[in-house]
Every structure is written in C-alpha cells, then in structure tokens.
Chain A
Amino acid sequence: MMGFDLTLVWAAIIGFAVMAYVVMDGFDLGIGILFPTFKVGEERDQAMNSIAPVWDGNETWLVMGGGGLLAAFPLAYAIILPATYPLMIAMLLGLIFRGVAFEFRWRDPGHRAFWDVAFTVGSVVAALAQGMTLGAILQGITVENNAYAGGWLDWLSPFSLLTGIAVVVGYALLGATWLIWKTEGSSLRHAQAMAFRLALATLVALAAVSAATPYLAYEYWRRWFEMPGVLLTAQVPLLVVVCAVTLFWSLRRGHERLPFLMALGLFLLGFVGLGVSLYPYIVPPAVTIRDAAAPEESLSFLLAGAIVIIPLILAYTAWAYWVFRGKVGTHGYH
C-alpha cells in the first residue's frame, strides 16, 4: 500500500491497546493495591463494587495487547515473552487470584478475609511484574538469530525494580482517584487522603525513572536532550508539571472527577515519554518495529476489521460505564 505505513499504524494500535489497558486495569489493580487500607465492610464492598461490572472488559485490553503483538509483531512477541518469562508467569498468576476474588469473596463470607488478601497480593504482583517488564524492555534485551539469547534472570536489575515500584505506585494513584469519583462518605475521605500521598509518590517515581532512563543508553540521552528534538521532547516534562499542579489543586479543592482525569494525564504523558525513548525500536537495542512486523497481508487483513470494530468496542464499553455511572450506593446489597 503506497503512502500508508501499515507497520506504524499497527504500532499505534498496539500502543493504544497497551495504554487502554494501563489506564483501565490500572485503576482496578490500584484498588487492589490499596485494598488493605480500607475498612472491612462497607468501605471494601464499595471499592470492590465500583469496579466489579467493568474489570473484565478492562482486562481484555491486556489480551488485545498480547494477541495484537502476536499478530502484528510476532518476532517481538517471541522475544519479549521468553526474555521476561518469570515476570509473565508471575503476572498471570497474580491476575488469576485478583480475578477470582471478585466473585469468591461474595460466595464465601467465612473466607472473605483470605480472598481479600488474594485480591491485594494478586494486584500487587501483577502491577509489579508489568512495571518490571517495562523496565526490562527499556534496559535492552539480548537477541541473537531472531531469538532471545540471554539468561532467565536478565530482566532483574535496580532499574527494572524502580519501574516496577513506579507502576505499583502509579496504579495506586489511579485507584485512589477513581474511588474519589465513585464513592462517598468515609471511603471518599480515605481515598482523598491516600490520593494526596500517592500523587507525591508517583511524581517522585516518575522523576526517578525519567532521570535514570537516559543513563541506560546513549541513544536515549540523544533523543531527549539533543537539539532540535529537545524543543519537542521538553514539552513532555512541562505538561507533567501542569498535570501535577492541577492534580494537587483539585485534590485540595475537593473536586471529585478532576483528580482521576489528571492521574490519567500523568500516565498518558509517561506513555508518550516511553514512545520518545523507544521509537522505532520494539525490542531495544536490536529489533525495530519494521524488523518485527508481520507481512503486509497479515497487517492489512487485521486492520480492515480493527478500524471498524475498535470504535464499536469503545462505544459499547462507554455505554457499559455509563450504565454504572454515579456513586456506588452505601445501602446494603440484596
């Protein structure tokens, strides 16, 4: 197809799916991370119920990210997954405990405490594994003959630990601001107090990752700081400052929706920052999106459906959120 870069379009679609996953399941996992800080009873039930109708759809974006990567960039899928093997397995197992806890805690009040712990541990493990995977990709993966050629603990480093913690903290912020939007009473006040601290922690983590990334490889340094690119890339930290100020201001003023939107904004900017660091690589330092891309027939076949179906998905997902709009009630369940 002339004048139309399928590879780039697919990189954008996968990027969108990953971003959609991060923000949507991010607040679900964040609630899981914060769960022990909520009082047993109404506060926990409210927190859980604010996400029960939507978590499954949110997690589907993760399957889309994996399935889309396999379809559009099979080589990247075949390298990244073995390279981060223990992280992937840990994430999947964490998501199992997190996912079943939604139903099981209602089914078995006698063991609700156990499933609440499973909910939290599952969420923390999944978030940490996702963050560390990000760090493992950024720090570079050893590739020979189109296959992963490193050891099975290469992903573990101070940097990947840092990105792991950053994602846990960031998800917790998303969760807290979501609860500000969706709950009332003591849950709301608790979420507001948590959000304030988590916003600080998230900014510190974001700054630490941003400061460490350029030292991983000269390539990253060059992209961020060389003229004239710096005029463009400098907009990212500037916008982060704008988002952060608005976030603190809105928390202080007791706004109920703006904090969540600003937390989303921070994630979006972090994601743009990643794009700046990585593009055009998908598995740095060896494999670009073009190297990893599936043949044009595969990409165009899938694109034909995706451009029709993804807007439909967004439409009915938005409808499902709209059906469950408003605050979670404080009345007992029936």
Chain B
Amino acid sequence: MFAGLDPVVLARAQFAFTISFHFIFPAFSIGLASYLFVLEGLWLKTGQGVYANLYRYWLKIFAVVFGMGVVSGVVMSYQFGTNWSVFSEKAGPVVGPLMAYEVLTAFFLEAGFLGVMLFGMNKVGKGLHFFATSMVALGTLISATWIIAVNSWMQTPAGYAINAAGQFVPGGSWADIIFTASFPYRLVHTVIAAYLTTAFAVGAVGAWHLLKDRANPGARKMFSMAMWMAALVAPVQILAGDAHGLNTLEHQPVKVLAMEGDYHPSPDGAPLILFGLPDSEAAEVRYELSLPHLGSLILKHDPFAPLPGLTDFPREEWPPVHIVFWSFRIMVALGFAMLGIGLWSLFARYRRRLYEWPWLHRAAVVMGPSGFVAVIAGWVTTEVGRQPYTVYGLLRTADSVSPLAAPAVAASLLAFVVVYFVAFGAGTYYLARLMARPPERGESEPPHLPQRAAGITPASGVTAPFATKE
C-alpha cells in the first residue's frame, strides 16, 4: 500500500513528527524546572505561603509534562538508529559521545532527583528538597547544552576528520567539535525560547484565573512573574535571534536566503519580503509585499549592502524554500507579539492596572500557546533549512537513511501518529484540566500514597515541611 512512497521522505516525516512532538515537552519542562526552582527558592527565602502553593500547583503540571518528555525522548534516542543508520554509523564517533554525555550528565541527574522532587516533600528536609529541585533544573539546562552542541555540529561541522571507512572521526580537539560556530547563538536562542514559552504558558494560566477572580493571590503572583519575564526577555530574544541570523548568514547563506525568499541577488541592497508565495520552480516570490532595503539593513546592518540570491547557488543545494519562508515568518511574528504583550504589561503595571485590565488578560490567554508554536516554527526553520543535508555540506539526507523499505517506515510512522495523538492528546487534556483549576491555599502535592520509611511512624500532613502559612 505504501510501496510507491519514497522511504527517505517517510523517514524524514517520521523524524520531523517525533521530534516536533518531543520538543514541545522539553521546551516547557526546561522553563518550568527553572520556574519551580525560583518559586521554591523564594518560598524558602521569604516564607510566604503563596510561593509554596504555586510551587505545588506547577509541580503537578510539571510531573505530567516531564513524563511525556521522557517517553517521547526515549523514542528519539532510538530514531537515529532505526531510521538513520547510515548517519549513525558515519557521524556516531563524533556526535555519539556528545549524546552519551547528555545521558550521563543530564538525564540521570534529572531522573535521579525527580522522584524526590515530586514525592519527597515529607521525606527529606527543606534544604535537601530544594537541592533536588535545583538538580532537576540544572539537568534540563545541561541536557539542552549537549543536544544543541550535537545539532550545531550538524549545522556547522568542525573539528572532524574523515577516516578510511568514510566515518566522521574526531580531528584532534573535542572543544572544536562541541563549540562550533553556531553553537553559542543556537544555545542562547533555544534556552531563552524555552523560558519565554513557559512564561507565556504560566502567564495565560494566571490571566485565565484573574479573569474569573482578580483577588486570587496565586493567580496574581504567577501573572506578574510571567509578565516580567515577557517584558524583560522578549526583547533579549529578538536581539539573540538577530545575532543568530547573522551567524547563519555567515555559515549557511543558502538557509538565510530561503528564509528571506531572496531568489535573485540584490547588488544594491535586498528588500525585506513581508509576505508572498515562494515558487521555487519559477524562482520568484508571487504576490510579493516587501519593504525596500530593509532586508540588507537587518542582515548586514547596512541598507545598501549587496546580498546574493538563491540562484547564485546550485538548485540541488536549496532547502524547501516555501517551508522555511513561512515557518520563519510565523516565528518572527510571534516574537514581536510577545514583545507587544510584554510592553503592554509594563504600561499596565505603570498604570497600576496589571490585575484589573481584562483585555490584557484575554490577550495573555490567547498568547498562551504562542511559545510552543514559535519554538516548533523556529525548529522547522533551522532543520528544514539545513536540507538537503544531515551534516551540512558533507552528508546528504538521502545518503543518511537506513536500508529500509517504504512499507516498514510508513507503517511505523502511522503507528507513531496514532499513539502520539492518543497518549499525548490525553496528556494535553489533563494538563488543560490541571491549569483550569485555580491555585488555592493549601495546594495539594502530586497524588501518591505516602511511603512509610522503615521504623518511622507515618505522619505526613502533620510534619509536612511545606505547611502553608499565608
């Protein structure tokens, strides 16, 4: 039934599907882990019950998000071998150790302390529990660092040699492999994206409950914290994105030209195309709406700087232009919308109407999922923009795939789609239900039977170190 399909396309579809789904969860759990770290730290410092309640409120959500991140992540660690075995064999000696370091330094750290973080509030002291939260938060950041190092090496490979078997092998210094040209930009841009994603999710939940009850102290606190993040971090993200774009122009010009929709060279400075329909057959953007010279101003910081066009490069080097053109615009538009909300909240704060401005709250609710969409759009931009290569300029995607027949890949893709929609669909629904419930005084812990330590009479709830004083 699937015999007519191209196994490479199917394998790419499968990777794109599984990693896009997976990426949603870490983008949230990186940010949430840090948020929980801040909440517990503030609670320990100030003793204000509102922080303890918010901690427990978001901890229950974190447990669900993290669980989905783990199971979808295990899939990723095997996707490389099942569908991209040639890539694995050729690039394994270089990227394999980085991924193994991710497991050793991050996954174990997160998993090892997660149990105590979720269920150990009454079993260890406050300080030790805070330590567990810190380790989970640190683990998420270490994880991001290693996997971005891997991705950056695939985008801007360096520090390698090629051996007799055609494998990429370390060329001498591991620092060259880890700290590639695009790594610092990509890491900063991605981690900030995770923080912004979380800020807008938290902000939307706070806003939703403010719309119902302006006096809820938990809703007020979380909304205020989220809006500070939006106001302070969204502009930083736009600057970081700009720097990342300049870096990409230097190392992967074809990708940037596809993002911009610049088919033809612009010797006197490129326009900024706002909208249009890229048509790679005809090498033109139909129904183009553009602002003159602004493209060069952004990319070269000089309105009259010349820029090449896609037609300066062979067609077989072009990524699918229409995809990156649009995904890039979605990401940028959402970035500016986030900035808008951040500025609006500053104004509201200045007017002392942060908790009393329903339109701001409604806008924040609408923007709740914006971070997730922006993160996926950004990921699509950079990954589809890397095509037609897995290791940029060196190993083609078509030459990276496993020796599998189309029906096998199609059947597994179908299975992934069905299972992900059932499992993660239900998970998303449970998350929405948790978020729809307002934060309360005496917020409960994640559901769990209290475990009785040997020789200690169970007294959970009585000696709870998280007893709320509000």
Contact = CB atoms under 8 A, between A and B. Distances in A.
Contacts of B82: 81-82, 85, 88-89
A297 B88 contact: no
Interface stretch (A65-73, A206-214, A241-249): A65-73
B412 A70 contact: no
A144 to B, nearest CB: 10
Contacts of A222: none
Given A78-B89, A327-B452, A89 B412 contact: yes
B113 interface: yes
Nearest to B71: A99
B100 A70 contact: yes
A312 to B, nearest CB: 9
A97 interface: yes
Interface of A: 45-46, 49, 52-54, 56-57, 59-60, 62-64, 66-72, 74-75, 77-82, 85-86, 88-89, 92-93, 95-97, 99-100, 102-104, 106-108, 111, 146-149, 152, 294-295, 297-298, 301-302, 305-306, 309-310, 313, 316-317, 319-320, 323-334
A75 B448 contact: no
B304 interface: no
A10 to B, nearest CB: 10
Interface in B106-142: 107-116, 118-120, 123-124
A54 B117 CA distance: 11
Contacts of B68: 100
Given A82-B404, A323-B116, 5 more contacts: A60-B103, A99-B67, A146-B165, A295-B163, A331-B458
B97 interface: yes
Contacts of A297: 93, 169-170, 174
Interface in B414-428: 415-416, 419-420, 423-424, 426-427
B167 interface: yes
A56 B114 contact: yes
B398 interface: no
Nearest to B108: A313
A328 B452 CA distance: 6
A22 to B, nearest CB: 16
Interface of B: 63-64, 66-68, 70-75, 77-78, 80-82, 85-86, 88-90, 92-97, 99-105, 107-116, 118-120, 123-124, 163, 165, 167, 169-170, 174, 402-405, 408, 412, 415-416, 419-420, 423-424, 426-427, 430, 433-434, 444-456, 458, 460-461
B448 A333 contact: yes
B111 A57 contact: yes
A77 B93 CA distance: 12
A298 B103 contact: no
B118 A77 contact: no
Given A96-B419, A328-B449, A82 B111 contact: no
A298 B115 contact: no
Nearest to A46: B449
A77 B88 contact: yes
Which of B78, B123, B448 gathers the greatest number of chain A CB atoms within 10 Å? B78
Contact of B449 (A49, A81, A88, A107): A49
B332 to A, nearest CB: 34
Nearest to A332: B449
A301 to B, nearest CB: 5
A81 B82 CA distance: 5
A138 B74 CA distance: 24
A333 B78 contact: no
B100 A317 contact: no
B152 to A, nearest CB: 17
A332 B423 CA distance: 27
Contacts of B458: 329, 331
A86 B408 contact: yes
Contact of A66 (B77, B109, B163, B423): B77
A17 to B, nearest CB: 9
A316 B89 contact: no
6 shortest A-B CB distances, which residue pairs? A74-B92, A53-B115, A81-B81, A71-B96, A78-B89, A99-B71
Contacts of A69: 81
Contacts of A49: 448-449, 451
